[in-house]
Amino acid sequence: MARAAPRVARPAAVLTSVAAVLAMLAAGCTVGPSQRTPVAVRGENLAAPTPPAPVPVAPETLPEPEQQSASLPFFECTDETFAVLRTPPPPDRTLRVECAELVVPADPAVPGSGATSLGVVRVGLADAPESRPPLLAVGDSATEPTTRHAVMLAGQVTPALLQSYSLIGLDRRGSGSDGLNCAPVTARAALLDADPAATGEAELSALLERARSVVQDCGVALDGRLAAFRTSTAAADIELLRSELGVGRLSAIGVGDGAAALAGWARDSPQAVGRVVLDAPPDPGIDDPELSESRAEAGEATFDAFAVACSAQPDCPLGPDPRAATSALVEALRTQPLVTANGRRLTAGGALNAVLTGLGEPRGWPALTGALAAATGGDAGPLLDVLSPVTGPRGRFDGMLATACNDTRRRPSPAEISTLAAEWRVTYPLFGGTFALRLVACAPWPTGGPAPASGSVAGTPAILVLGTVADPRGTLDGSRRAAENLTSSRFLSWQGAGTGAYPRTACVSGAVDSLLLDGVAPGADILCPP
């Protein structure tokens, strides 16, 4: 089977390149893989390098944000919302949260399929008028529900942004109030706990039967609406929400496949696009198995950034070589899973899925480091807790799986996956087997819809696209290709780590806020240090 060549360095080289980036940035150098001439920027506590002369480009003035006149029946839900958040908002802002539900077709592609409801939140300063212009936040299907993502974002953005916008969160299908919980418990556990080194054709065929039971049970539970859980459907939901908010043009920021949903909406409804930021969108031009391979590459790069961050500390709990310590733990779990006092089991597959879950948020890296160290010492509880938002009673697994499988079109056979797994475990030694097993999880699903369309259409304003050098959900090159797929885009490369670059640094926030607040897109591409 033809296979695209890997697009980024192999893991050993990635570790060297990450370390080199950190070293050069500490020395005040501007580095980056951008294929275009970047705009050099000042990082925090760094001397400003001399920028190359940019090609003169006239700034593009973007549409003015419109005041909202929402027809949704919002009600205040501030106390109950903050009661379940891990981190309260900072003391420099007092926020009010309002909740509502948006009624949408159960499957826009199937007329007469009925209706379902998606959670919506509106969060802003407590004294903000209800008419304050909306800024829609669309999260990634593998992270927090978008309503929670919007509330968390309101605690992180600059106060100036909250003086201009109220943040709106619209849950993705399969999460939040529309949470999907249909997979057999034993099948879900089998897919998450599968041994990433057990990738022979016979072993994969047995796992395929577990995956098939998920499709069968979910298909029955959803009465044939299984295909509705996909990114292209989220694009249709965004347009319905825009209408309910009472604005002609909607400003928005999307992360991961939430950014892909916004890109699809922009192509379908160019006249409705306001000031838009796509943060870490995936490469729209690849499908499985290349998509899963690119995520294995991205996972390795992000783990190397995590390892550099830990080993730079004098007391890193994983010792001088966090990769070696983690690999040793995984190998030990293959033959002897850890069992907690209440009967929970930590397997090699579960440990790697927990690491991939934790890598997306660098603020949680110290806790992830401690959880890996605890498991090395025989205590599985902390690492299982990292995975619990995926596997718990209201976990994200079913919705994540449905979206991932519905967004892809090719279904490799067990024999093909076995061959790929053998290659990926060499090229991507920590996560190659895990991503090969994810191909098995999608193998019995119906094939997804058509490939995303290419290029912008007339009437779409300039869109700012952000890419991150170490994001476990996708590669920097993938986000760059997403930008190149939009003829009206500007691209910002962030040399940091995590899922979503905004608003992690002053450089990134400055570029995004300039677009959202001042309505001015950058005249050239930008390179931001960590």
Locate the domains of the chain by residue range: 185-226+289-442
Distance, CA of 487 to CA of 466 (rounded, Å): 15
State how far the Cα of 349 lies from the Cα of 344, in Å rounded to an integer: 14
Give, for all 530 residues of the chain, the pLDDT tens digit. Answer: 433 333 333 444 444 444 444 433 333 333 333 333 233 333 333 333 334 443 334 346 799 999 999 999 999 999 999 998 878 899 999 999 999 999 999 888 888 888 999 999 999 999 999 999 999 999 999 998 999 999 999 999 999 999 999 999 999 998 888 889 999 999 999 999 999 999 999 999 999 999 999 999 999 998 878 889 999 999 999 999 999 999 999 999 999 999 999 999 999 999 999 999 999 999 999 999 999 999 999 999 999 999 999 999 999 999 999 999 999 999 999 999 999 999 999 999 999 999 999 999 999 999 999 999 999 999 999 999 999 999 977 889 999 999 999 999 999 999 999 999 999 999 999 999 999 999 999 999 988 777 777 766 667 899 999 999 999 999 999 999 999 988 789 999 999 999 999 999 999 999 999 999 999 999 889 999 99
Residue 292 tokens read as 């899963």
- The rounded distance, in Å, linking the Cα atoms of 504 and 496 is 9
Quote the distance between the C-alpha of residue 71 and its chain's center: 30
Contacts of residue 328, Cβ cutoff 8 Å, sequence gap at least 6: 376
In the prediction, which pLDDT does 255 show? Answer: 97
Which tokens in the block code for residue 148? 């929670």
CB 166 within 8 A of CB 68: yes
Cα 180 to Cα 167: distance, rounded to the nearest angstrom: 25
Angstrom distance (rounded) from CA 215 to CA 48: 54
**Cα–Cα distance between 396 and 392 in angstroms, integer?**
8
Kind and range of the H or E element at 517? Answer: none
DSSP designation for 39: B
What gap in Å lies between CA 141 and CA 499, rounded to an integer? Answer: 12
Q: Where are the alpha helices (DSSP H) in 428-455?
A: 432-442
CA distances from 174 to 142, 178, 402, 409 (A): 11, 5, 8, 20
Contact 396, 175 (CB under 8 A): yes
Closest CA to 38 of 527, 381, 501: 527
Where would I find the beta strands (DSSP E) of 323-453?
338-339, 345-346
- CA distances for 419 relative to 266, 310, 327, 412, 415, angstroms: 39, 34, 22, 10, 6
Euclidean distance between CA atoms 436 and 189, whole angstroms: 17
